[in-house]
Structure 1
Amino acid sequence: MTRFYENKYPEVDQLVMVQVQSIEDMGAYVKLLEYDGVEGMILLSELSRRRIRSVQKLIRVGRNEVVVVMRVDPEKGYIDLSKRRVSAEEVVKCEEQYEKGRAVDSILTQVAKRRNVSTESLYEQIAWPLHSKYGHSYEAFKLSIQEPEAVFGSLGIDADTLVELKHTIARRLTPKPVKVRADIEVKCFDYQGIEAIRRALKAGEALSTEEVPIKVRLVAPPLYVMSTTSTDKTAAIDTMEKAVAAITASIEKEKGDVVVKMAPKVVSETDDAELKALMEQFEQANMDVAGDDDSEEED
């Protein structure tokens, strides 16, 4: 276990991730996962805002918990913690921070092993200075994928370690593309219904960006599938939701409607395989319906 941050102990009011070691009469003994496993305690009175009927329902040995620091006595090594003073929003914030720390720790541990040096020495030379400069060394590591000299240039890292560090960061932190899909039924029984559907689908595709290219394909009337592949999951889902809204607005002007069978979400290879099998069944029937033109061919 290593210390993620330069300070040996956390500060009062700081959120920290702990792992429960034991439960005693006074409270729960825990180790602070980001601070080299230093010991702390959550008093029973600080476990919950409500009356405690069963400690085991609130906290269990071996489980990770987000807590806030109440008191720190560096001389005696006492750290008093509270679980009940932590809000749901703070739990999410701390979990995100902890995962960033774990990612950095994993990278440095790997580099240390390959270079036969201590992980702590890499923290001292690399992670702690970057944490101070960028708010978190994780953010610096991500930036280094595009701007390695700007991030690492002033740290005096030896050439072999720098090569190993950049390689490990690129392998661990380069965003992986995800596929986002939405299934929609588009109907319009007006006289110009086919053209109305075509225009509506084009309105959705028009919201494509370089980072989030949208394609619309026919499965079988009236079912269409929208899809995109992007390294930015949040932007992909957001853009797809806007595309569905654009299609809906367009077709409703033509007295048609849209039924969302599956809202935009990240799909797996299994989901894609099932969709492909379904589309192949209809392709055998040689269906040629509005919206299934050359620009909407399958990837």
Structure 2
Amino acid sequence: MVEKKKDFPEESDLVLCTVTKIYPHCVFANLDEFDRKQGMIHISEISPGRIRNIHDYVKIGKKIICKVLSINMEKGHIDLSLRRVSEGQKREKAELIKRQQKAEKIIEFVAGKLKTDKQKLQDDLVSKLGDEYPSLHDAFEEFIVDESVLSKLGLPKAFYDNLAEVIRQRIKPPEVEIDGEIKLKSNAPAGVNVVKKILCDAEKLDESLTIRYNGGGSYSINVVYDNYKDAEKILKKATDLMEGEAKKNECDYSFRRIEKKKKAAA
């Protein structure tokens, strides 16, 4: 269950909905993340092209992800679109909801152990965290690598101890992924074997490192680790080895790095 918000969504937000009513030219759906909010999807916003039978696209009780087109707060009207949500956006929203539910389950479990009200615990924690984190799951994820995220909040000891224990059990550390491009060529008679040995020796340095052939003397190098500092050390060790061996064997060598942070697994 997703904790319901009492306000309205914003225009262009993606929202999880449950279909409640189907008419020939429109569909009504409850907004699952918002308290007592309902939206309407006109038939033109169900799917591109002509729709012969609206029931081919939606059914009562079906969970759908929609885009908010417009809001009239005075009348409480919310216009939604189903067709303007891409498959990628659907997957991303579904993942966010899954993460949110996981964080709320953690609070619920801790509340059960302490025999206290889950909603009060959650509201107090959200209030103390403020606007620093988009969601509870983001805060819990950060706690894995920096315990001061929660320890500085002044939470009651029993709550903090139990919460910290459950977070460590249920949430994996965020991963850092560093991608790079290597260009490595040798004009020597046995150049193919020279290049292959250099790359293999580099890849053997750490199990978190992988090297793949792109074509035309270009290779991708990838390091996945739980923090930037160590990921960069692994990458530097590998690139230093390759650069040194390339010079020793008179190979052409260059390297370009690209970084990005991956979200923790839910």
- TM-score normalised by length of structure 2: 0.62
Post-superposition shift, 1:175? 4.6
TM alignment of 1:143-222, pairs within 5 A = 143-154=142-153, 156-175=154-173, 200=196, 203-208=199-204, 210=206, 212=208
- Say if 1:164 and 1:65 are closer, same or farther in 2 by CA, change over 3 A: same
Q: Take 1:74 and 1:42, find their aligned partners in 2: how far apart are those partners?
A: 17
- Say if 1:37 and 1:160 are closer, same or farther in 2 by CA, change over 3 A: farther
- The AA in structure 2 aligned to 1:13 is S
| Farther off after superposition, 31-40 or 44-53 | 31-40
SS in 2 for 1:127: helix
Post-superposition shift, 1:144? 0.6
Return 5+ residue gaps in structure 1 as ranges.
178-191, 215-229, 240-245, 251-299
Q: Take 2:29 and 2:194, find their aligned partners in 1: how far apart are those partners?
A: 61
- The AA in structure 2 aligned to 1:122 is L
- Say if 1:8 and 1:108 are closer, same or farther in 2 by CA, change over 3 A: farther
2:3 corresponds to which residue? 3
- Say if 1:176 and 1:3 are closer, same or farther in 2 by CA, change over 3 A: closer
- Residue identity over aligned pairs, in percent, reads 25
Post-superposition shift, 1:60? 2.7
Post-superposition shift, 1:209? 5.6
SS in 2 for 1:65: strand
Q: Deviations over 1:217-259 (max 9, x none)?
A: xxxxxxxxxxxxx777xx9xxx9xxxxxx9xxx9xxxxxxxxx
Post-superposition shift, 1:128? 5.7
- TM-score normalised by length of structure 1: 0.56
- Say if 1:79 and 1:129 are closer, same or farther in 2 by CA, change over 3 A: farther
- Say if 1:63 and 1:57 are closer, same or farther in 2 by CA, change over 3 A: same
SS in 2 for 1:20: strand
2:81 corresponds to which residue? 82
1:270 corresponds to which residue? none
SS in 1 for 2:203: coil
- Say if 1:115 and 1:98 are closer, same or farther in 2 by CA, change over 3 A: same
Post-superposition shift, 1:120? 2.5
Post-superposition shift, 1:26? 4.6
1:138 corresponds to which residue? 137
Post-superposition shift, 1:141? 0.8
- Say if 1:83 and 1:112 are closer, same or farther in 2 by CA, change over 3 A: same
- The AA in structure 2 aligned to 1:203 is L
- Say if 1:57 and 1:198 are closer, same or farther in 2 by CA, change over 3 A: farther
- Retained in 2: the 8 A contact 1:4–1:101? no
Q: Take 1:118 and 1:124, find their aligned partners in 2: how far apart are those partners?
A: 10
- Number of aligned residue pairs: give it: 211
- Say if 1:205 and 1:173 are closer, same or farther in 2 by CA, change over 3 A: farther
SS in 2 for 1:133: coil
SS in 2 for 1:101: helix
- Say if 1:78 and 1:102 are closer, same or farther in 2 by CA, change over 3 A: same
Q: Take 1:203 and 1:211, find their aligned partners in 2: how far apart are those partners?
A: 14
Superposition CA RMSD, Å: 4.0
- The AA in structure 1 aligned to 2:65 is V
Q: Take 2:92 and 2:130, find their aligned partners in 1: how far apart are those partners?
A: 17
Post-superposition shift, 1:37? 6.3
Return 5+ residue gaps in structure 2 as ranges.
176-189, 211-223, 236-241, 247-266
